Amino acid sequence: ELKVEQNPLFLSMQEGKNYTIYCNYSTTSDRLYWYRQDPGKSLESLFVLLSNGAVKQEGRLMASLDTKARLSTLHITAAVHDLSATYFCVRQGAQKLVFGQGTRLTINP
Amino acid sequence: ETGVTQSPTHLIKTRGQQVTLRCSSQSGHNTVSWYQQALGQGPQFIFQYYREEENGRGNFPPRFSGLQFPNYSSELNVNALELDDSALYLCASSPKGRQGATYEQYFGPGTRLTVT
């Protein structure tokens, strides 16, 4: 069974700091996604990672994938308040997406 | 290009009642998946429909059922509502190509269901 585990589950950080969210998964599969969710809202796709060594960057967020270690990371550089949200690591199963528990990120001024 | 839409946005029902949630897929997408997201948790896969047939199901009881129509829109029906069914219900659509190939899923805004 495909399982996805994220850590930390809660992260409070100051503006301007850097931090990394880690995502471990149990079995190999096609692709890995990172989604963002604001409170009470739907899911916004941030990154799709397709192969070992893939790295994608958008603004202050950078995601990477290591399929040998079954690990993905989401790195936040010089955090700003607008990045406060819950971030989900998601693996693609046969038909379904399998979500991690989510990391609730709070960025304080 | 129209994205995924869902209706209603909010719904309040009483335990034991039945509810129908609706989803219109993004243009060009023939696959619809439904997810349940309880408060503070990640979404859980309910089932997927491809070309009007169920194409995979998660660990949900039979009182959760669905339909997909020829225009690829979909309904999620829940019978005999329980308090634990209170959640955000998300619909996602995707194009589906050759056998077994699944592509990125695009999520709708969700329906917030409250069961009292």
Q: CA of B40: how far to CAs of A30, B43, B78, in Å?
A: 27, 10, 22
Mutation test of the interface with chain A: which of B45, B94, B98, B112, choosing the one with the most A Cβ atoms within 10 A?
B45
Contact B56 A45 (CB under 8 A): no
List residues bridging with A35 in a β-sheet.
A45, A88
Three-class DSSP category at B88: strand
Contact A97 B105 (CB under 8 A): yes
Tell me which DSSP letter residue B72 carries.
Answer: S
CA-based nearest distance A16→chain B, Å? 27
How do residues B89-112 score in pLDDT, each as one tens digit? 999 998 875 555 567 889 999 999
How do residues A78-101 score in pLDDT, each as one tens digit? 999 999 999 999 998 877 899 999
The pair of structure tokens assigned to A104 is: 């609730």
Q: Is B18 exposed, middle or buried (0-12, 13-18, 19+ CB in 10 A)?
A: exposed
Query: Does residue B70 contact residue B57 with C-beta atoms inside 8 Å?
Result: no
Q: Give residues 38 to 67 of A whose Cβ lies within 8 Å of B.
A: 40-43, 45, 48
User: Across residues B62-73, what is the average pLDDT?
Assistant: 96
How do residues A6-62 score in pLDDT, each as one tens digit? 999 999 999 999 999 999 998 876 689 999 999 888 999 999 998 888 899 999 999
CB-closest option in B42, B108, B109 to A99: B42
Q: How far apart are CA B43 and CA A44, in angstroms?
A: 13
What value does the mean pLDDT of chain B take? Answer: 92
Please indicate if any CB of chain A lies within 8 Å of the CB of B66. Answer: no
What value does the mean pLDDT of chain A take? Answer: 92
Whether B1 has a pLDDT exceeding 90, the answer reads no
Q: How far apart are CA A50 and CA A34, in angstroms?
A: 12
Q: How far apart are CA B109 and CA B9, in angstroms?
A: 8
Query: Does residue B58 contact residue B47 with C-beta atoms inside 8 Å?
Result: yes
Cis preceding-peptide flag for A8 (omega within 30 of 0): yes
